[in-house]
Amino acid sequence: MDAIINLEEATAWLRGTSASASWAERRDLARSVVESLAVGPASNGGLALLKELASDAKWEVRREVAEGLLYVSDSDFFHLAGQLANDTNNFVRRAAERAMDRRRQIAKQAGVARRTVD
pLDDT band at 73 (very low <50, low <70, confident <90, very high): confident
CA distance between the termini of the chain: 45
CATH no. of 7-117:
1.25.10.10
**More confidently predicted of 44 and 50:** 50
pLDDT at site 5: 65
User: Is the Cβ–Cβ distance between 84 and 65 less than 8 Å?
Assistant: yes
| Cα atoms in the Cβ-side hemisphere of radius 13 Å centred on 55 | 9
pLDDT at site 3: 46
Closest-CA residue to 68 (of 106, 112, 99): 99
Q: How does DSSP assign 50-87, residue by residue?
A: HHHHTT-SSHHHHHHHHHGGGGS-HHHHHHHHHHHHT-
Amino acid present at 67: E
Please give the sequence-ordered ranges of beta strands (E in DSSP) within the chain, or none if there are none: none
Q: Where are the domains of the chain?
A: 7-117
Share of the chain above pLDDT 90, in %: 39
CA triple 89-9-63, angle to 5 deg: 15
